[in-house]
Chains A and B, each alone.
Chain A
Amino acid sequence: MKKAQLIAGLLLVGVVTLAAVVSLFWTPFDPIQVVPGQRLQPPGPVHWLGTDGFGIDIFSRMLVGARTTLLVGIISVGLAAVIGAPLGMLAGQAGGWIDDVVMRISDVVYALPALLLAMLLASVFGASTLTAMVSIGVASIPAFARVARAGTLQVMAADYVLAARASGTSRWGIAGRHVAPNIAPVLGVQSSVGFAMAILAEAALSYLGLATPRPNPTWGNMLRDAQDYIFVAPLQAVWPGLAIALAVLGFNLLGDGLRDYLDPRLREVA
């Protein structure tokens, strides 16, 4: 059962990754070039998923969209993890005023929605994939900091940390050898949940025109375009919607599966 979850997650994430990689070398049609004569074609042998209101092959746009989705997820989660996790570990280990200062700043950032940050960045620098990545990433920092801090506090109270101190392990030694490996599973789960949320956030931002600008395809702005033809060609909205849902599901399943796999205690029992 646990293994099935991991495999299903890996499969879904694998499909998205494959689509992104393939799009680097090959797409059936040009994903940007407008072809007026081919507007709103239904799915068929030539255009597998049909064409959109500009006559562009939807399948080709979906492939390229996967690339943006993955890129935004990787960069924003990476940014959040690289900044948030060490800050949370620091807060949990140092305690006292350092803990207070780090976590209150984190609370302030937490109170700031990614959407607001994205609007701010977009209005200053112009909407782009980069502003979306930065705003989603910054908004995800507090979640990582909190998870890392909670995990650190739990580990620091464990007998084996006392035992490590009793053997002469330094503060940094404990952080590296005991705290980090023990909180890695929760950070892994947080990453995959964060990845799923980043995909949703990116879709929302590009739907609102606050991320990757047209004509570059993303699943979010494809959804936005499909809205104009929702009664004429409803399938057009289904493809990107389905892709977003399955990608989010995939990363959630992968997260749960990874947690069980990374935990040596659970691995042996299963």
Chain B
Amino acid sequence: MTLLEVCDLTVTFGRHRRPALDGVCFSLDAGCRLGVIGESGSGKTVTALAVMGLLPEYARVSGTVELAGHQITQLSESGLARLRGDVVSMVFQEPMTALDPTMRVGRQVAEVLRLHAGAESGPARAAVVRMLAEVGLSDPDRVADAYPHQLSGGQRQRVILAMALINAPDLVICDEPTTALDVTVQATVLAKLDEVLEASGAACLFISHDLAVVSQVCDQVVVMLDGRIVETGSVADLFANPQHPYTKGLVAAAQLDAATPGQRLPVVEDFYQPDAGAKR
């Protein structure tokens, strides 16, 4: 069953600027995971915001985004608010700034629960603590009473994960969720993400610039470049047989094991020159 269907999505900021997204099409089935990979400025985050209906008012949007039977581009702000956090939720990139510094994190997680489930404070607290434990926080009671600045980056990212998952959404959008974390913490957070997604059966749109990270979580990948999708396929196919020169570069750069010792490591520019693309 198709959960998310994006069709010919074009987004422009300002009249005379190049579109940030240009005719983007992809679909995602319920319970599946799709990686969106591309360099910064390629339109990954704009895609995520478009699916959430969170694009700024001055963005000009055409095409359709259908999520669980709802036309996102047609919905009112209050209609969108009902879907957000309930049907679809988002894990943000920066754990340092995505939590309100004046609010205890337990309350922030409970807030999401309360907004959609109408839960009361007593049971909500228990649900929050359970969720915090589920995302791998070892001392969930203490964490729930902490302010964000009292937690480490990895802990905060887990709290953000808990916020995204507490209403058991159908789709979780992860926008570079591990980019701000060091590699060790990144691995544990990814493993935990994999585990909780598996347990809840939620679909996932995983945005990253790191092919290695995407291949760890996703089975399908789309490659974005300059606001367009240049290649789509399963992770295995993409690694075995990349088509687009940009993808070839990405794959070569990700396969460190294949490099000959003593030789310069391959970079994307060996395969694809961005200037050639711009002239075209």
Measuring CB to CB, which residues of chain A are less than 8 angstroms from any residue of chain B?
A: 158-160, 162-171, 173, 177-178, 181-182, 184, 264-265, 268
Number of residues in B with C-beta < 8 Å to the partner? 30
5 extra interface residue pairs, beta carbon distance < 8 Å, beyond A168-B85, A181-B102 = A160-B97, A166-B52, A167-B111, A167-B112, A177-B111
Chain B residues in 8 Å Cβ range of A158: 97
Chain B residues in 8 Å Cβ range of A171: 77
Identity of the chain B residue whose Cβ is nearest the Cβ of A161 in the assembled complex: B100
Q: Are A166 and B100 in contact (CB under 8 A)?
A: no
Known: A160-B97, A264-B102. A167 touches B115 (CB 8 A): yes
Q: Are A168 and B163 in contact (CB under 8 A)?
A: no
Identity of the chain B residue whose Cβ is nearest the Cβ of A155 in the assembled complex: B100
Tell me the minimal C-beta distance from B168 to chain A in angstroms.
Answer: 14
B window 12-57: CB within 8 A of A: 52, 54
Q: Are B115 and A166 in contact (CB under 8 A)?
A: no
Identity of the chain B residue whose Cβ is nearest the Cβ of A265 in the assembled complex: B149
Known: A264-B149, A268-B150. A168 touches B100 (CB 8 A): no
Chain A residues in 8 Å Cβ range of B150: 268
Chain B residues in 8 Å Cβ range of A165: 54, 81, 84
Q: Which 4 A-B pairs have the closest CB atoms?
A: A167-B85, A168-B85, A159-B97, A168-B84
- Taken together as a complex, chains A and B put the C-alpha atoms of A265 and B54 apart, in Å, by 29
Q: Which of B83, B98, B101 contacts A168 (CB 8 A)?
A: B83
Chain B residues in 8 Å Cβ range of A159: 92, 94, 97-98
B124 within 8 A of A: no
B263 within 8 A of A: no
Q: Are B85 and A166 in contact (CB under 8 A)?
A: yes
Measuring CB to CB, which residues of chain B are less than 8 angstroms from any residue of chain A?
A: 52, 54, 77-78, 81-86, 89-90, 92, 94, 97-103, 111-112, 115-116, 147, 149-150, 160, 163
Q: Are A178 and B81 in contact (CB under 8 A)?
A: no
Chain A residues in 8 Å Cβ range of B77: 171
Q: Are B97 and A167 in contact (CB under 8 A)?
A: no
Q: Are A167 and B163 in contact (CB under 8 A)?
A: yes
Q: Which of A164, A170, A184, A268 contacts B100 (CB 8 A)?
A: A164
Known: A168-B115, A264-B147. A163 touches B92 (CB 8 A): yes
Known: A166-B89, A167-B111, A167-B115. A178 touches B149 (CB 8 A): no
Q: Which of A163, A182, A268 contacts B149 (CB 8 A)?
A: A268
- Taken together as a complex, chains A and B put the C-alpha atoms of A164 and B163 apart, in Å, by 10
- Taken together as a complex, chains A and B put the C-alpha atoms of A184 and B100 apart, in Å, by 14
Q: Are A168 and B99 in contact (CB under 8 A)?
A: no
Chain A residues in 8 Å Cβ range of B160: 163
Q: Which of B81, B101, B147, B163 contacts A163 (CB 8 A)?
A: B163
Chain B residues in 8 Å Cβ range of A182: 100-102
Identity of the chain A residue whose Cβ is nearest the Cβ of B87 in the assembled complex: A168
Q: Are B102 and A162 in contact (CB under 8 A)?
A: no
Identity of the chain B residue whose Cβ is nearest the Cβ of A185 in the assembled complex: B102
Tell me the minimal C-beta distance from A262 to chain B in angstroms.
Answer: 9
A-B contact pairs, 29 of them (CB 8 A): A159-B97, A160-B97, A160-B100, A163-B99, A163-B163, A164-B111, A165-B81, A166-B54, A166-B92, A167-B85, A167-B112, A168-B81, A168-B82, A169-B81, A169-B85, A177-B100, A177-B103, A181-B100, A181-B102, A181-B103, A182-B101, A184-B102, A264-B101, A264-B102, A264-B147, A264-B149, A265-B101, A265-B147, A268-B147
Chain A residues in 8 Å Cβ range of B83: 168
Known: A159-B98, A162-B92. A169 touches B115 (CB 8 A): yes
Identity of the chain B residue whose Cβ is nearest the Cβ of A173 in the assembled complex: B115
Tell me the minimal C-beta distance from A11 to chain B in angstroms.
Answer: 28
Chain B residues in 8 Å Cβ range of A162: 54, 92, 98
Q: Are B84 and A166 in contact (CB under 8 A)?
A: yes
- Taken together as a complex, chains A and B put the C-alpha atoms of A168 and B116 apart, in Å, by 8
- Taken together as a complex, chains A and B put the C-alpha atoms of A264 and B115 apart, in Å, by 25
Chain A residues in 8 Å Cβ range of B78: 170
- Taken together as a complex, chains A and B put the C-alpha atoms of A94 and B54 apart, in Å, by 16
Known: A159-B97, A182-B100. A168 touches B112 (CB 8 A): yes
Chain B residues in 8 Å Cβ range of A170: 78, 81
Tell me the minimal C-beta distance from A160 to chain B in angstroms.
Answer: 4
- Taken together as a complex, chains A and B put the C-alpha atoms of A23 and B85 apart, in Å, by 57
Chain A residues in 8 Å Cβ range of B147: 264-265, 268
Chain B residues in 8 Å Cβ range of A167: 84-85, 89, 111-112, 115, 163
- Taken together as a complex, chains A and B put the C-alpha atoms of A182 and B100 apart, in Å, by 8
Tell me the minimal C-beta distance from A117 to chain B in angstroms.
Answer: 36
Q: Are B100 and A178 in contact (CB under 8 A)?
A: yes
Tell me the minimal C-beta distance from A165 to chain B in angstroms.
Answer: 6
Tell me the minimal C-beta distance from B38 to chain A in angstroms.
Answer: 21
- Taken together as a complex, chains A and B put the C-alpha atoms of A82 and B209 apart, in Å, by 48
Tell me the minimal C-beta distance from B92 to chain A in angstroms.
Answer: 6
Q: Are B111 and A169 in contact (CB under 8 A)?
A: yes
Interface centre among A164, A170, A171, A173 (most CB of B within 10 A): A164
- Taken together as a complex, chains A and B put the C-alpha atoms of A182 and B103 apart, in Å, by 9
- Taken together as a complex, chains A and B put the C-alpha atoms of A265 and B103 apart, in Å, by 11
